C-alpha cells in the first residue's frame, strides 16, 4: 500500500521547536516566547550604582529610574490633545464672551477711585464691568491714569503691575505687557490686555467702557 503521509490519528507533537517543524505556522522557536523582563523587577537607581551599593531604604522603596522617566507615546499624545483642546475651548469661550458683551448693550459707568487714593507709580485693583473681571488702575504720572483687565491674554493668569519697569508682568509664562498701552512685549501673549476706558470727573476716576483689542 502506498505511503499516504502522516497518520492523522497519531498524537500531535505539542513541542513548538521540534526539529522539522521550523517555519510552520505556530512553530516559532521557544526563545521567541521567552518572557520579557518584569518591569516591576527592574530597579536601576537614579545614581546608577549597583543595588548592593544602595542604602537600605531603597530596598523598601525601589525606584526604577528608566521607568520613572518613561512616558508612553500614547500618553504623551493624549496630553498634547487634551492641552490643545483646552486651549481651543478657552479661546472660543473668550470669543463668545466678547461677542456677548459687544451685543448686550453699553457697559456700566462705575467710579473706581479718587485720584487721592492712588500715588504716582502705584496701582489699585477693581472689577469691571462685572465682579468676575479683575482690572488694574495705574497712575503713571500726576495726571495720567491707565486701566487694563488683569487677565493675561495668553492663558488668563493675573498680571502684576510693575510701574518701575514700565510693564505688567505675567508670572505664569514670563509674559510682559507695556504698562501704557497693554501691548505684549515679551513671552507668549499675542494680544494686548483689555483696555478699560477711563473718564475723570473732578477728583474721581470712572470706568466707562471696555476696549477689546486683537492687535
> Considering only 3-11, 14-22, 122-130, 149-157, which stretch makes contact with ligand FES by CB under 6 A?
149-157
Binds ligand FES by CB under 6 A, chosen from 111, 173, 180, 200: 173
CB 194 within 8 A of CB 211: yes
CB 197 within 8 A of CB 211: yes
Check binding of 155 to ligand FES (CB under 6 A): yes
Binds ligand FES by CB under 6 A, chosen from 157, 160, 198, 208: 157
Check binding of 115 to ligand FES (CB under 6 A): no
CB 75 within 8 A of CB 95: no
Residue 86: count of CB within 10 angstroms of its CB: 11
* Closer residue to ligand FES (CB): 127 or 185: 185
User: In a 3-state reduction of DSSP, which class is residue 74?
Assistant: helix
Binds ligand FES by CB under 6 A, chosen from 135, 147, 148, 154: 154
> Considering only 30-38, 113-121, 147-155, 195-203, which stretch makes contact with ligand FES by CB under 6 A?
147-155
Check binding of 134 to ligand FES (CB under 6 A): no
Binds ligand FES by CB under 6 A, chosen from 62, 134, 187, 209: 187
- Kindly give, in sequence order, each residue whose CB lies less than 8 Å from that of residue 53, ignoring residues fewer than 6 positions away: none
d(CA 100, CA 94): 10
Check binding of 189 to ligand FES (CB under 6 A): yes
> Whole-number minimum distance, CB 56 to ligand FES, in Å?
45
The C-alpha cell that represents 103 in the structure block: 451685543
Could you tell me which residues are beta bridge partners of residue 40? none
- Kindly give, in sequence order, each residue whose CB lies less than 8 Å from that of residue 174, ignoring residues fewer than 6 positions away: 186, 187
Where along the sequence are the contacts to ligand FES (CB under 6 A)? 152, 154-155, 157, 170, 172-173, 175, 187-189
Amino acid at each position: 500500500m502506498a505511503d499516504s503521509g502522516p497518520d492523522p490519528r497519531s498524537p500531535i507533537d505539542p513541542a513548538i521547536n521540534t526539529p522539522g517543524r521550523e517555519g510552520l505556522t505556530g512553530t516559532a522557536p521557544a526563545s521567541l516566547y521567552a518572557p520579557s523582563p518584569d518591569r516591576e523587577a527592574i530597579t536601576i537607581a537614579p545614581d546608577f550604582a549597583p543595588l548592593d551599593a544602595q542604602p537600605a531604604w531603597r530596598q523598601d522603596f525601589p525606584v526604577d529610574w528608566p521607568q520613572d522617566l518613561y512616558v508612553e507615546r500614547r500618553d504623551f499624545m493624549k496630553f498634547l490633545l487634551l492641552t490643545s483642546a483646552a486651549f481651543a475651548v478657552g479661546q472660543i469661550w473668550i470669543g463668545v464672551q466678547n461677542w456677548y458683551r459687544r451685543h448686550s448693550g453699553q457697559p456700566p459707568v462705575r467710579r473706581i477711585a479718587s485720584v487721592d487714593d492712588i500715588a504716582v507709580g502705584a496701582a489699585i485693583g477693581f472689577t469691571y464691568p462685572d465682579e468676575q473681571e479683575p482690572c488694574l488702575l495705574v497712575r503713571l504720572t500726576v495726571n495720567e491714569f491707565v486701566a487694563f483687565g488683569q487677565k493675561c491674554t495668553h492663558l488668563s493668569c493675573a498680571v502684576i503691575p510693575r510701574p518701575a519697569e514700565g510693564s505688567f508682568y505675567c508670572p505664569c509664562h514670563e509674559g510682559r505687557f507695556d504698562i501704557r498701552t497693554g501691548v505684549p512685549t515679551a513671552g507668549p501673549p499675542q494680544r494686548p490686555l483689555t483696555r478699560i476706558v477711563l473718564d475723570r470727573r473732578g477728583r474721581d476716576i470712572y470706568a466707562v467702557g471696555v476696549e477689546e483689542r486683537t492687535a
